[in-house]
Chains A and B, each alone.
Chain A
Amino acid sequence: MAAKTSTDKASFKPRIAAFVCNWCTYTGADLAGTSRLQMAPNVRIIRLPCTGRIDPLFIIKAFERGADGVIVSGCHPADCHYTSGNYHARRRFAVARDVFGFMGIDPKRITFSWVSASEGGKWAEVVNDTTARVQELGPFSAYREMEARV
C-alpha cells in the first residue's frame, strides 16, 4: 500500500459496510438511533435475516464495491432467532477470517461482533471503533489498484 500523506488521511472518509441480522443487531442499531447516540456516519447497514445468511462472499463483494471496512454482527450465542444460525456462522467466519488474512486482507478491516436488540450502546461503540480503526489504516487502496488493472 502506498504511503499516504497526512492531508490524505485527514480528508479520507472510510466507507464501511455492515452486514447485520434482522433480529438482534438491526434492532440494536435502531435502538442506538432512537436513543440519539452519537455515531460515526460512515457505516451503511445491510439487513439480513440471520448471520447464518451471511456468506463470506458478501465481505469480498463489499470490498470489491469500494468498502474500506466491513462489520458483521448478529445475535449473541444462544439468542439466535433460528436457534443455531449464529453458531454455524461463527465457524464460517472463523475460517473466512483466517483465509482472507492469509490472502492479504488485513483482518483489522473486518469487525465481527454480537450485538443484541438491547445493546444500542454497544452498537455505537462497534461503529465508532471500527470507523476509527479503518480511518487509521487508510483507504483500501491495494484493492482499488487491483480493480483498476486492465
Chain B
Amino acid sequence: MQALQELARKLLTDKTANVVIGWGQGPRGPRPIFVTQPEHADRLIFDTRCVHNLATYLNPRRAHLVPFVKKAVVVKPCDARAVAGLIRETQVKREDVVLIGMRCGGVVRDSDMDGKLTEATVSPRCMDCPDREPKLADHLMGEEASAPPKGKGPDMIAKLDAMSPAERWEFWQKELERCVRCHACREVCPMCFCDRCIADKSMPQWIESSPHPRGNLSWQMTRVMHMAGRCVGCGECTRACPVDIPLGLILRKMTQTVEERFGYRVSDDPTVPAPMGAYRLDDKQEFIL
C-alpha cells in the first residue's frame, strides 16, 4: 500500500499523470477515488474489497474524465483485460494511460463485505481467473498472491444447456421480469462505449424503454450481442444490477461460444484482433443451409 501511495505521489509530482484513479476508503468499504494532488496520494488503498473495475473510467464515454488526458489507473488482472480491450478497439491510446498493476489473489463479492476470502465470499469472476498479476502494466505492485478459493455452485451454463428451449425461456422470463431498465449494467461496463446507445434511440425505437418483459428481453439480447468478443468477464454488470439478474451467465455463455468457434481468448494483450471485427474464410458454418 505504501509503495502504491509513493508511486502515485511521484506520478502526480512529475506530471506523468494528471490523475490517479484508484480505491480509497469510503463509508461502506473501498470506493473509486480520483487523486489529483500529490499530497492526497496517501488516500489510496488496495485490498480484497477493491472490487470495482476502474478501467471503466478510461472509457471515452465518460466525458468528465477526458480533460485529464494522462490518466494513471490502478488495475487488477481482470481490469487490465478491459484496458487492453479499449486499446484494441482504439478507444484509448496506450501512451495516454499509466497502468499500475496490482498482484491479485481474488476479491470478495462486494466492497461492503469484510475482506476475508473464503469459498462463500469470493467473487464469481475470480473462480476461473488464471492471472495472478496483470501483464499489461507499467508498474507492478503488491505481494505475490496465491490462487483464489474455488467457490462451489452448480454449473449454471450446463444446467441451462440441458433444458428444453421452453424451459430456458421460462427461466429467463422469471429473471428478466424483475428488470427495471435502470441500465446500470451498461453504465458500469468498461466496454460499452457507443456515443449514443441504441437503447436510447427513439426514432425508430428499436428497444422499448419501459420495463416491460418485451423490451427487457431485447435489451439484454442486444447488450450481449454488442459484448460479443468484448466482454472481459469482470462481472461488474452482475454486481451493479439492483435486482440481481444473473447477467454474467449469458455473457459467459457468449464468451464460451466465441472461444469455441473463433479460438479467441480474452487476454490483456491489445495486439490480438477483436474476433467480431475479423473473420476467417473457413469459419464453421454448420448451422447455415
Q: Is residue B222 contacting chain A, with contact meaning CB distance below 8 A?
A: yes
A147 to B218, CA, bound (A): 12
A135 to B221, CA, bound (A): 25
Q: Is residue B171 contacting chain A, with contact meaning CB distance below 8 A?
A: yes
The answer to whether A90 and B172 touch across the interface, beta carbons within 8 angstroms, is no
The answer to whether B279 and A90 touch across the interface, beta carbons within 8 angstroms, is yes
Q: Which residue of A lies closest to B169 (CB)?
A: A104
Q: Say how far B185's CB is from chain A's closest CB, in angstroms.
A: 15
Which residues of chain B are within 8 angstroms of A113 by Cβ–Cβ distance?
A: 288-289
The 8 lowest CB-CB distance pairs between A and B, nearest first, are: A104-B169, A87-B279, A113-B289, A104-B168, A106-B165, A98-B257, A112-B288, A60-B218
B interface residue numbers (CB < 8 A to A): 160-161, 165-173, 198, 206-207, 212-214, 217-218, 220-222, 224-225, 228, 250, 253-254, 257-258, 261-262, 275-276, 279-281, 283-285, 287-289
Q: Say how far A71's CB is from chain B's closest CB, in angstroms.
A: 10
A96-B225, A98-B254, A146-B217 given as contacts; is B283 within 8 A of A126 (CB)?
A: no
Which residues of chain A are within 8 angstroms of B285 by Cβ–Cβ distance?
A: 77, 90, 94
A95-B258, A146-B214 given as contacts; is B279 within 8 A of A88 (CB)?
A: yes
The answer to whether A90 and B283 touch across the interface, beta carbons within 8 angstroms, is yes
What is the number of contacts between chain A and chain B, taking CB atoms within 8 Å?
119
Which residues of chain A are within 8 angstroms of B275 by Cβ–Cβ distance?
A: 91
Which residues of chain B are within 8 angstroms of A77 by Cβ–Cβ distance?
A: 281, 285
Q: Which residue of B lies closest to A108 (CB)?
A: B165
Which residues of chain A are within 8 angstroms of B224 by Cβ–Cβ distance?
A: 99
Q: Is residue A101 contacting chain B, with contact meaning CB distance below 8 A?
A: yes
Which residues of chain A are within 8 angstroms of B167 by Cβ–Cβ distance?
A: 104
Q: Which of A57, A90, A92 contacts B218 (CB 8 A)?
A: A57
Q: Say how far B99's CB is from chain A's closest CB, in angstroms.
A: 30
